[in-house]
Chains A and B, each alone.
Chain A
Amino acid sequence: MDIKVSDIWLRDYLKTRATVNDVAKYLSLCGPSVEKVEEGNVYSIEVTTNRVDTASIYGIAREAAAILPQFGIKARLQPVKLPTLNFVDKVKYVSASINHSLCSRFTAVLIRNVSLKDSPNWMKERLSAVGVRPINNVVDISNYIMHELGQPVHTFDYDKILKGKMVLRESRKGERLTTLDGKTHTLPGGDIVIEDGKGKLIDLAGIMGGQNSAVDEKTKNVLLFVQTYNPVNIRTTSMSLAQRTEAAVLFEKGLDPELVTLGIGRGIELFVKLTNGRPESQILDIYPAPYKAKKVEINTDFITERLGVELRKDKITQILRSLGFETYWKGKALEILIPSYRAEDISIPEDIVEEVARLYGYHNLPSILMEGALPEPLKDTPFRFEEKIKNVLKGFGGIEVYTFSLVAEEEAPTGLKLKNPLGKESEYLRTSLSPSLVMAARQNAGEKEPFHLFEMANVYIARKGDLPNEKMMLGGIFANTSYREAKGVVEGFINELNVKSEMFSDDGAHYLPNRHIYIKVKGRILGEFGELSQGHLYYEFDVEALRAFSKEIGSFRPSPKYPAQIEDVTLTFAARTKIGEVIDFVLSKEKLVSRMELTDIYKDSYTFRLWYQHPTKTLGNKEVEEIRKRILAGIKEKFGGIVKS
């Protein structure tokens, strides 16, 4: 949570000559982080969830008073001045029955004859500086105390609480209550509520008061109300009713019951001063288990080991005492008593290490690299292979994209659904990269030049009763590119990875009929390529399958000793002849043809380049002619192709 602290208010409790910049800088280095100093010297401070004791003017003063002297700047905490307080567990003006598991400390005091009016300027100014709108003296006092001490305070119109009776209990599911802001809540049950003598709910405790018991312009007598509530109940209620008040945000972090003393004392003092009210001399205080100092034990070896440097015992003592801890040494062992306001945060020796280290200054600790044995490297990790794939595609002109894994239902009908999506278009975890890549290509529809986008990312395949299978996929999409150019990239890519695979044409889901090919090794599908129904040339590979069949280095074959005879042959074919099959046919039938490429297409004429090559001799013209005859006869018989005259 972020809080605002005005410097002038801070100095009520922090007696120092440190400048605003000093305070900001040194607090940030050793305590709560000052994010910025706003105009009028207001610190904006980030308070972490464990340090609710610093979520106030007084809390920051206490912290600064410990930190500044570490930098050689004198500073002292001015304790809160309180009137004499007479706490008793029964009073005449109100009777209360409390469920102690919900409320560890309950205090209240009746203040008679208050006069409602505007607060004095100094209070209005201070409240405005920390972002609170002044309303009237009674409301302002509550807000003032909450910001000063970090203790929420509530005020009831005493005359609206029937019979001066209060029952603090857990709510029952479905009970209704209208809060001060006019909202009517149907309670989920288990909320902390207070009912009056007539069974009417008058307070959503710790979150917001009830409208029916609120102070208004006719109020004469105020019941000042300061409590410590069970943080879990407060948080559950506040979250489920989406009623995130400042009070709730404080209470849910677990407040110090001892802080109640300061809260009610400050309240009485301010009510007397600002409203001319007359407080009852007895304060109701139901506090069955007062704080007993918590103990943590530690020894110097532990501190040294964690810090990486040895601190003197007197330095440790000085630091801990400045933070309000009591210290008792027995040799190297140290027993520490924790003050009430740190009890929630400090329970184990590691917590003490943090206190010592941060006040000593993290910047004063040495910086060294670890020694010792290195961990075993993981065998068979995919990372290098994935990097290689990306680099190969980049080399072929591919442009890598990262698209969101969250898609709309129609794009992942079998995908996992989110409970709390940001919107309909990102409600499901994707099971294929293709919808995202089609979108990516469309996003660049204005581009006239050819382009090729690719992405490597997990898709998430649902499994019953288990986490989804996270499958690393590679997808790529082409635009303004011909089928042969795109296929050439896919073929080149497979070759570059040294995967000996075969291509099978077969229809595939989401692809145009006849325009789809599977890439297989030993019957296992590694990937596919073709034209999507939406009209884009697309490929997708299972990266782990590719990796299983990819050789890091190609196998060695000695270069042929005897040169090849190379010639071009042009053939004409009837329509609907599959040229890929013609080439496969020649290469599989004729061992002396080492290579065959399609070099040109003109109407129904296809020009092939043939490499005739014998492993142990140079082929003569006569031998080449024989091979050529065999090939042409075969092609004519099987495919009806004839040499173009």
Chain B
Amino acid sequence: MREEIISTKNEAMAQIMEADSSSELEELRISYLGRSGKLTSQIKRLKEIPQDVRKEMGLLINDSKNSIEKALAEQKNRIGEAAREWFDPTMPGIGPKKGHLHLVTQAIEEISRTFAQIGFVRVRYPEVEWDWFAFESLNMPKGHPARDVWETFFVDAPIHPKYGQIALTPHTSSGQVREMNRVKTPPIRMINIAKCYRRQIDASHVPMFHQFEGLVIDKGISIAHLKGTLDYFARNFFGPQRKTRLRPSHFQFTEPSFEVDITCGICKGAGCKVCKSGWLELGGAGMVHPTVFKNGGIDPSKYSGFAFGWGVERTFMMKSGLEIPDIRLLYSSDLGFLKQF
């Protein structure tokens, strides 16, 4: 049988060398390696031969088969380009229809994920809210000059004897007392993300935008914990090298109050053309004011806490380094813009 195998192989090799078209090569492939090809029928006969030589013959056939396949491929490459079956692999693909999530959605998802990792519970509170929750319970009585910062829309509706006017929430801080009312007994680790409204419109302000508010209340909560939380957020959201710092500020509902800065992503805090000082302003924060605790039904002699509330759009743009010259673009429905993200 050995001679037979070797001669079949030699015969095949000779014929392959002489072939000059791919159809001829295909015929040769079938006549040797096809279902009833010469080599295939030899494989079938293997089981008829004695056990002691079967393995050797098997290996020999396999070897021949490999040689023939290799020769077929080589010859195929050798015969001219014209004789090949034409195929253009450079043709562009047909893409699937691509959808897009809005930048604000992407930002909200990422912010909630980051805070969820350290045990913050996401909540949702009214976007159209009583004055009591938006201002009064936050230590801002009617007519207080501190209210000026929040250019607030009010709803033309009767005034509630206890809760006052109806306002479009100018900040997510209106969820603080709501959350205290809900939880009653700390610990609280809240993240409240919502639409906010203010009476202003220009390249860097829109009347509707989004904020996220963090609130932590427990026994023994200190400024160090606020710093820890902000640094955690900065590292995980903005990148491992980023750091935050606190500067003095003033809000009626926190004492002390802070402005939070983050090191510039470009110069890493050294100072450059974009940031000037090495720092960029993130937003406000502070230790919860005892009056707010009282209004939320929590005893400030037992518990302390901190809060922060920042713009979703601004925070996300600072992360991504996107330079969107006019924030109003975010709220336009221009496909050319939306499809970029």
Interface status of A337 (Cβ within 8 A of chain B): no
- Rounded to whole Å, the gap between the CB of B231 and the closest CB of chain A is 5
Interface contact A365-B224, CB-CB below 8 Å:
yes
Closest to A370 in B: B225
A374: shortest Cβ distance to chain B, in Å? 4
Q: Report yes or no: B222 in contact with A306, Cβ–Cβ below 8 A.
A: yes
Within 8 A of A (CB), among B83-127: 96-102, 104-105, 109, 112, 118-119, 121-124, 126-127
Binary per-residue interface labels of chain B (208-230) against chain A in the complex, 1 for a CB within 8 Å, 0 otherwise: 10000000101111111101111
**A365-B223, A390-B105, A402-B102 known; A306 and B118 CB under 8 Å?**
no
Cβ-based interface call for A584 (8 A): no
- Which of A278-286, A376-384, A533-541, A607-615 interfaces with chain B? A376-384
Of A30, A232, A444, A465, which contacts B335 at CB under 8 A?
A444
CB distance from A214 to the nearest CB of B (A): 28
Choose, from B14-22, B52-60, B253-261, the stretch at the interface: B253-261
Bound-complex Cα distance A496 to B197 (A) = 34
**Chain A contacts for B104, CB-based, 8 A:** 402
* B224:A467 contact, CB within 8 angstroms: no
A390 to B158, CA, bound (A): 37
Distance between Cα atoms of A363 and B279 in the complex (Å): 13
Task: Check A370/B229 contact, CB under 8 A, given A418-B155, A422-B201, A429-B128.
Answer: yes
- Taking CB atoms and an 8 Å cut-off, the chain A residues in 216-274 that contact chain B are 232, 235-236, 252-253
Closest-by-CB residue of B relative to A421 is B153
> How distant is the Cα of A239 from the Cα of B164 in the complex, in angstroms?
20
Which of A348, A381, A444 meets B255, CB within 8 Å? Answer: A348
A419 near B155 with CB under 8 A, answer yes
A451 and B128 in contact, given A377-B121, A420-B199 (Cβ under 8 angstroms)? no
Distance of A421 from chain B, by nearest CB (Å):
7
Tell me whether A49 and B146 are in contact in the complex, defined as CB-CB below 8 angstroms, given that A33-B259, A387-B109, A418-B154 are known contacts: yes
CB pair B119 A350 closer than 8 Å: no
**0/1 per residue, B146-166, Cβ < 8 Å to A?**
100000011111101000001
Q: Is there contact, CB below 8 Å, between A470 and B127?
A: yes
Assuming A354-B256, A405-B208, A443-B332, is B122 touching A383 (CB within 8 A)? yes
Quick check: is B71 within 8 A (CB to CB) of the other chain?
no
Once the chains bind, are B207 and A417 in contact (CB under 8 Å)?
A: no
Residues of B within 8 A of A367 (CB): 224, 227-228, 230-231
Bound complex: CA A456 to CA B81 (Å): 57
- Contact of A405 with B195 at beta-carbon distance under 8 Å, contacts A48-B250, A49-B250, A366-B227 already known: yes
Query: Would B220 and A305 count as touching, CB distance under 8 A?
Result: yes
* A366 cross-chain contacts in B, Cβ below 8 A: 224, 227-228
Docked complex Cα distance between A452 and B109 (Å): 22
Stretch of B25-33, B72-80, B241-249 on the interface side: B241-249
Could you say which residues of chain B place their CB within 8 Å of the CB of A377?
Answer: 121
In contact, B333 and A362 (Cβ under 8 angstroms): no
Whether A357 pairs with B339 at a CB distance below 8 angstroms is no
> Please, what's the 1-or-0 string for A42-58, where 1 marks a CB less than 8 Å from any CB in chain B?
00000011110000000
Q: In the complex the two chains form, is A417's CB within 8 Å of B189's CB?
A: no
B130 neighbours in A (Cβ, 8 Å): 467
Is the Cβ of B218 less than 8 Å from the Cβ of A370?
yes
With A369-B232, A420-B154 already in contact, the answer to whether A400 and B338 are too (CB < 8 A) is yes
Interface residue range, chain A: 35 or more
Interface residues of A in 521-566 (CB under 8 A from B): none
Contact B187 A378 (CB under 8 A): no
What secondary structure prevails in chain B residues at the interface with A?
mixed
Q: Which residues of A contact B43 (CB under 8 A)?
A: none
Q: Is B145 an interface residue (CB 8 A)?
A: yes
Q: Is the CB of B331 within 8 A of A402?
A: yes
Interface string of A391-417 (1 = CB under 8 A from B): 101111111111111100000000011
Give Cα A305 to B154, complex, Å: 40
In the assembled complex, A309 has its CB within 8 A of some CB on chain B: yes
A369-B146 Cα distance, complex, nearest whole Å: 31
Inter-chain CA distance A406–B128, complex, in Å, is 12
Q: Given A30-B248, A48-B249, does the pair A350, B287 have CB atoms closer than 8 Å?
A: yes
Would you call A308 and B223 a contact (CB within 8 A)?
yes
Cβ–Cβ contact B189 & A232, under 8 A: no
Does chain A have a CB within 8 A of B265? no
Which residue of B112, B197, B223, B246 contacts A383 across the interface (Cβ within 8 Å)? Answer: B112
List the A side residues contacting B323 at CB < 8 Å.
none
Q: Report the interface size class on chain B.
A: 35 or more
> How many Å lie between the Cα of A381 and that of B258 in the bound state?
31
Partner of A404, one of B122, B225, B259, B331: B331
Which chain B residues border A396 with CB–CB below 8 Å?
Answer: 97, 99
Report which of A369, A418, A447 forms a contact with B118, defined as CB distance below 8 A.
A369
Q: Decide if B143 is an interface residue (CB 8 Å cutoff).
A: yes
Of chain A, the residue at the smallest CB distance from B122 is A383
Q: Which residues of A contact B109 (CB under 8 A)?
A: 387
Q: Is B330 located at the chain interface by the 8 A CB criterion?
A: yes
Tell me the complex Cα distance, A402–B333, Å: 7
State how many angstroms separate the Cβ of A514 from the closest Cβ of chain B: 29
B64 within 8 A of A: no
Expressed in whole angstroms, the Cα–Cα distance for A226 and B153 within the complex equals 37
A51 to chain B, nearest CB (A): 7
Closest Cβ of chain B: how far from A44's Cβ, in Å? 13
Closest A residue by C-beta to B255:
A350
Q: How far is the CB of B194 from chain A (nearest CB, A)?
A: 9
Chain B residue nearest to A457 in the complex (CB): B195
Are A357's CB and B156's CB within 8 A? no
The reply to whether the CB of B136 lies closer than 8 angstroms to some CB of chain A is: no
The reply on A458 being an interface residue by CB < 8 A is yes
A398 and B99 contact, CB distance less than 8 A: yes
Is A467 a contact partner of B129 (Cβ separation < 8 A)?
Answer: yes
Partner of A350, one of B219, B230, B250, B290: B290
Say yes or no: B157 contacts A416, CB within 8 Å.
yes
- CB within 8 Å of B: which of A323-357? 348, 350-351, 353-354, 357
Chain A contacts of B119 at CB under 8 A?
374-375
Q: Are B128 and A400 in contact (CB under 8 A)?
A: no
The answer to whether A358 and B166 touch across the interface, beta carbons within 8 angstroms, is no
C-alpha spacing A518/B315, complex, angstroms: 40
Contact of B171 with A by CB under 8 A: no
State in angstroms the CA–CA spacing of A307 and B256 once bound together. 10
Verify B143–A417 contact, CB threshold 8 A: no
Contacts of B98 in A (CB 8 A): 397
> Is there an interface contact between A400 and B100, defined as CB atoms closer than 8 Å?
yes
A400 touches B102 (CB 8 A): yes
Q: From residue A441, how far is it (CB to closest CB) to chain B in Å?
A: 8
CB A628 to nearest CB in B, in angstroms, measures 36
A426 / chain B contacts, CB cutoff of 8 Å = 207
Tell yes or no: B9 within 8 A of A by CB.
Answer: no
Distance of A50 from chain B, by nearest CB (Å): 5
Task: Point out the residue from B187, B227, B247 that lies within 8 Å of A33, measured CB to CB.
Answer: B247
B128 engages A375 (CB within 8 Å): no
Query: Contact: A401 with B102, CB < 8 Å?
Result: yes
Check B247 against A362 for contact (C-beta < 8 Å): yes
Which one, A362, A403, A452, contacts B331 given CB within 8 A?
A403
Give every chain A residue within 8 A of B153 (Cβ-Cβ): 418-421
Interface residues of A (CB under 8 A from B): 25, 28-33, 48-51, 232, 235-236, 252-253, 305-309, 348, 350-351, 353-354, 357-358, 362-363, 365-370, 372-378, 381-383, 387, 390-391, 393-406, 416-422, 426, 429, 439-441, 443-444, 447, 451-453, 457-458, 460, 465, 467-468, 470
Sampled A-B contacts (10; CB under 8 Å): A308-B222, A350-B289, A366-B227, A378-B121, A378-B123, A383-B124, A402-B331, A404-B331, A416-B155, A458-B195
4 more A-B residue pairs beyond the given contacts A443-B332, A453-B333, with a C-beta to C-beta distance below 8 A? A48-B249, A350-B287, A418-B168, A470-B127
* 5 tightest Cβ-Cβ pairs between the two chains A and B: A308-B224, A308-B222, A440-B333, A354-B256, A48-B250
